[in-house]
Amino acid sequence: MVSSFGFSIGTKGDDLAIRGASDTVATIECDRIEVTTPLWTVTTRGGDVEVNGDKVLGTQTLATRDRIRVLGHHFVFICGEALEQQFYEVIYHLTIEDFATGLHNARFMAEIMDREARRFADGGVQLSVGVVRFGPNLTLGTEEIARANEDLIRNFARHLRVQAPKAWILALIADGEIGVIAPDTAAVALDLLLREICLGFTSVSENPRSSNLRSGVADWSASTSAADLLEQARARCRQPAA
């Protein structure tokens, strides 16, 4: 339950207080107990509640590892057997993933790029690196605008996950900046597809900042460091759109 008294699962305790919650925002409870697999649900009271990036309206069932966002706070729901093992697995994933977007994070991106650089040097496999970034928002300064910017990035990340080939590695590498590693893909092909993905998102987004969405790519080279590749892609993001 998320309320002015705190957050808890299946009880009415004060396990974790959340500022800004008034009355009951959401209740997480077990609807069926006397079954092999208990049924857990989250019920909202009209507050800002999401499960795996989708807004919850009314009651929704929960599965272990679901990501819950309540009033800007993030939680991972786990249930069932081996809770301690699940807990440590969740902690590990939180070290390599960005919770809000569901993408990997900058640390994971750097590790993968170092690994792929060695593979490229050993076997000459074809790889390309891309960066998608939102232009700076000069109106930053209020909590409402910050929340709108966060929602914009999360919505684009969801759009990118759906549109991108499964082999791509996607990571939030900076505020408003997403990195892409594309195996077996030429830079020209990656550039074209990223532009199409960005254009598709811009055409349906209601946020004016989406018009500042830019992408850039760099060819993978055995003589170029991972950091240099990202900087090359970032520089191309700053170039005027063709």
Question: Which whole number is the average pLDDT over 187-197?
Answer: 93
Q: Are residues 200 and 134 in the same domain?
A: yes
Measured between alpha carbons, how far is 52 from 55 in angstroms, rounded to an integer? 8
Q: Are residues 220 and 127 in the same domain?
A: yes
The pLDDT of residue 214 is above 50:
yes
Q: Are residues 191 and 90 in the same domain?
A: no
Question: Which whole number is the average pLDDT over 17-37?
Answer: 62
Q: Of 60, 79, 96, which one is at a domain's C-terminal end?
A: 96
The pLDDT of residue 237 is above 80:
yes
The pLDDT of residue 54 is above 80:
yes
Q: Please give the structure tokens belonging to residue 210.
A: 């989406």
- Closest CA relative to residue 155, chosen from 121, 221, 204, 212: 204
Q: Are residues 120 and 20 in the same domain?
A: no
Let me know if residue 242 belongs to a domain: no
Percent of the residues in the chain that have a pLDDT greater than 70, as a whole number: 78
- DSSP class of residue 136 equals P
Q: Of 70, 96, 122, which one is at a domain's C-terminal end?
A: 96
The pLDDT of residue 157 is above 50:
yes
Q: Are residues 145 and 197 in the same domain?
A: yes
Q: Of 44, 66, 96, which one is at a domain's C-terminal end?
A: 96
Residue 174's φ and ψ, nearest 5 degrees, are -165, 170
Q: Are residues 48 and 132 in the same domain?
A: no
> 93, 140 in Cβ contact below 8 A?
no
CATH of the domain at 129: 3.30.70.270
pTM as predicted = 0.71
Which of the residue ranges 8-12, 77-81, 174-178 has the most confident prediction, judged by mean pLDDT?
174-178
Measured between alpha carbons, how far is 187 from 217 in angstroms, rounded to an integer? 6
Q: In what order do the strands lie in the sheet with 54-55?
A: 54-55, 49-51, 66-70, 73-77
Res 9: pLDDT: 41
The pLDDT of residue 31 is above 80:
no
> In total, how many domains does the chain have?
2
Q: How confident is the model at residue 172 (pLDDT cuts 50, 70, 90)?
A: very high
Res 129: pLDDT: 92
Among the listed ranges 56-65, 201-210, 225-234, which one has the minimum average pLDDT value?
A: 201-210
CATH of the domain at 84: 2.60.200.20
List, for residues 77-108, the tens digit of each pLDDT value: 888 778 888 888 888 888 888 888 889 999 89
Q: Are residues 82 and 190 in the same domain?
A: no
Res 102: pLDDT: 86
The pLDDT of residue 3 is above 50:
no
| Structural domain of 153 | 104-237
